[in-house]
Amino acid sequence: MKSWMQFLVLITSITSTSALLASGGAEGGGSQMSPVTNAKWKAECSSCHMLYHPGLLPERSWGKMMGGLDKHFGENASLDPATRDEITRFLVTNSADKSDNRRSSRINQSIPANAAPLRISETRYFTSKHDEISPVTFKRKSIGSAANCIACHQGAEKGNFSESQVKIPR
Amino acid sequence: MRNKTMLLALLFSVNALAATPQELLKQYEGQAKQESPAFSGFSAERGASFFRTARNHSNGQKVSCATCHTADPRNQGKTRANKVIEPMATIANPQRFTDAAKVEKWFGRNCKDVLERACNAQEKGDYIQYLISIK
């Protein structure tokens, strides 16, 4: 084999292997949600609360959420239609039922097909994962409520809920 | 040289005078005049009482602007979901009232949350007048 051909084969095999590794780690059934982003989602969905990763709820939940922003958990969170639609598309594309990482799949499987929960903390996946945390702990000043994932999961906004990185504040 | 320096200084001061809270107030003034022929200017005092007055919400709670922004607008506030709100007073946060769309977005949301109706231009102007007057 000519040396330039050997080189080509080598380069091709390196790139395809790393591509395989990357897809396996981030999207192809990895354990953590992939770190997706969208500027409008980031700006609009984190002024009042932490930024929730789209992989935490299925498409039907996000659809219901974005269709009722004027009464968003008791508050008016209305957006102009163009911004709302762009964010909805982003949420749907990366929703739990469209992602193949393990956590999103399990969240999705824990939700009955006829349900479209708006609170992640009401999914069976969440309650079973947090059954050892007492309601009093969630009410700590440093935490606030079960909706404030980032109080204990520092990587929550990037979709990282790895148990080894949990630090429950006093 | 001296002339140039003075011209530059003048330009900068003009720029500072045309700061956006003032421009916003001008816009709300125009609207307020349309809404009420009796309009006679904005008042920081009225804005202050608007900010602090608690209203009985139909959900049974008493709410005011100060509920989330605290009674001293130079302080950081907190949303119900535990997120910090940067101060509303321009002395503590010069970014406030420099983006018309942002201001309208939040008046739109928060007036409905606190008053359960939209705010009129008089109220918006008084509110801004108050928050830029705080030393």
Per-residue pLDDT tens over the stretch A27-57 = 457 889 999 999 999 999 999 999 999 999 9
Which of the four pLDDT bands, split at 50, 70 and 90, describes residue B20?
confident
pLDDT exceeds cutoff 90 at B67: yes
Query: What confidence score (pLDDT) does residue B82 get?
Result: 86
| pLDDT above 80 for B56 | yes
Q: Do B108 and A78 touch (CB under 8 A)?
A: yes
DSSP string, chain A: --HHHHHHHHHHHHHHHHHHHHHHHHTSS-SSPP----HHHHHHTTSSS----GGGS-HHHHHHHHTTGGGBTTB-----HHHHHHHHHHHHHTSGGG--SHHHHHHHHTS-TT---S-GGGSHHHHHHTTTS-HHHHTSTTT-STT-GGGTBTTGGGT---GGGB----
Which of the residues in chain A have pLDDT under 70? 1-28
State chain B's mean pLDDT as an integer: 90
Tell me the residues of chain A between 122 and 141 that have a Cβ less than 8 Å away from chain B: none
- Taking an 8 Å cut-off on Cβ atoms, the answer to whether A76 and B110 are in contact is yes
Q: Average pLDDT for residues B19-48, to the nearest whole number?
A: 95
Residue B13 has pLDDT above 50, yes or no: no
**ipTM value:** 0.77
Tell me: pLDDT of B21 over 90: yes
Domain carrying residue A95: 38-165
Tell me the shortest Cα–Cα distance from B113 to chain A, in angstroms. Answer: 6
Closest Cα in chain A, distance from residue B135 (Å): 26
The distance of A32 to chain B (nearest Cα, Å) reads 25
**Mean pLDDT across the stretch B104-126?**
97
Q: Is residue A151 domain-resident?
A: yes
- Residues B22-34, mean pLDDT to the nearest whole number: 97
State how far the Cα of A76 lies from the Cα of A81, in Å rounded to an integer: 15
Q: In the predicted model, what is the mean pLDDT of residues B27-40?
A: 97
**Across the interface, do A75 and B80 touch by the CB < 8 Å criterion?**
yes
Q: Which residue of chain B has the CA closest to A77?
A: B109
The CATH code of the domain that includes B113 is 1.10.760.10
Q: For position B5, what pLDDT does the model report? A: 52
Residue A9: inside a domain: no
Residue A55: inside a domain: yes
Which one has a higher pLDDT value, B113 or A26?
A: B113
Number of domains in chain B: 1
- Nearest-CB residue to A78 (from B80, B83, B109): B109
Question: What are the distances in angstroms from CA A43 to CA A47, B67, B105?
Answer: 7, 23, 13
Q: Which residues of B touch A143 (CB under 8 A)?
A: 82
Mean per-residue pLDDT of chain A: 88
Q: Which residue has the tokens 């003009």?
A: B14
C-alpha–C-alpha distance, residues B134 and B47, integer Å: 11
Q: Is A8 a domain residue?
A: no
Residue A72 in any domain: the answer is yes
Count of structural domains within chain A = 1
Tell me the residue ranges of DSSP E strands in chain B: 55-56, 62-63, 77-78, 84-85
CA–CA separation, B115 vs A57, rounded Å? 32
Residue range(s) defining the domain that contains residue B121: 2-133
Say if B3 is an interface residue toward chain A (CB within 8 Å).
Answer: no
